[in-house]
Amino acid sequence: MKALFAQTAAMRGVFLVAVTVAAVTVCGCSQETSTRNLQIGHARWVRLDDEILPAAKPAKPPIIKAETFLATGRLLESQGNFIEAAKLYQRACKTRLDYVAAWNRLDIVSDKLGRYDQAEESFAQAIKHAPKAAFLHNNLGFSCLLAGKYSEAEGHLREALALNGQFQRARVNLGLALAKQGQLEPASVEFKRALPEAQAYYNLGYLHRLAGEWQKAGNCYKLALELDPELDEAKTSLALCEQGYATEK
């Protein structure tokens, strides 16, 4: 009986060991499978996430309006930075080909930089878009004056006055263009039509002084002072003329 009990106990132990081993094996397989499934699930989640999220697109640069280029250019111009201002005016013109205000500022800055050919080209573009704008013809005429093209300046200034007969600045510039061509009497007429008489004589005296005609210049300054004794510029210029006239003697 004892032998039978011992044998049964031994067999039961073997069975328990076998069950235990089987259980460990099953548990181990279950844990490995769970890990694999987790990894596969994670991989699928990553792939699914990539499909859901669209590919990142490069951001478009902000669109800058022509008015912004013009405003920034005006600020730089006011600070005396004409080169950078010209660049911004050019960008404004490229952004809006019919932007007359930008063309006009580009012309003016180009004159300040001594780029007279570029100024004329810019004025031509501006006038193309606004042919009836008297101020553009005046500005082009003044640009020609600076470049020494007096006959061309006269033509543009007369065009400005044809568009606006009350454009006094254009009339003064026309007087300068005529004087530069040696036509002092017609120049004097234009000055008197555009300015108070005292200032007209002052301007004429200035032109005589530039030509080295000290006595004629002095006479003009005297006439200016008779009409306006408070015209300090005429007093100073008259003193310079008297010095120049005395030096020549």
13 assigned to some structural domain:
no
Q: What is the CATH classification number for the domain harbouring 239?
A: 1.25.40
38 assigned to some structural domain:
no
79 assigned to some structural domain:
yes
103 assigned to some structural domain:
yes
User: Last residue of a domain, which of 100, 116, 132?
Assistant: 116
Instruction: Inform me whether the pLDDT recorded for 21 exceeds 50.
Output: no
49 assigned to some structural domain:
no
pLDDT tens readout for residues 35-67: 444 444 444 444 445 555 566 666 676 778 999
pLDDT (0 to 100) of residue 8: 46
Domain extent, residue 90, equals: 65-116
208 assigned to some structural domain:
yes
232 assigned to some structural domain:
yes
pLDDT (0 to 100) of residue 1: 46
4 assigned to some structural domain:
no
Q: How many domains does the chain have?
A: 2
Instruction: Inform me whether the pLDDT recorded for 208 exceeds 70.
Output: yes
User: Which string of DSSP letters, residue by residue, matches the chain?
Assistant: -HHHHHHHHHHHHHHHHHHHHHHHHHHHHHHHHHHHHHHHHHHHHHHHHHHHSPPPPPPPPPPPPHHHHHHHHHHHHHTT-HHHHHHHHHHHHHH-TT-HHHHHHHHHHHHHTT-HHHHHHHHHHHHHH-TT-HHHHHHHHHHHHHTT-HHHHHHHHHHHHHH-TT-HHHHHHHHHHHHHTT-HHHHHHHHHHHS-HHHHHHHHHHHHHHTT-HHHHHHHHHHHHHH-TT-HHHHHHHHHHHHHHHHH-
* pTM > 0.85: no
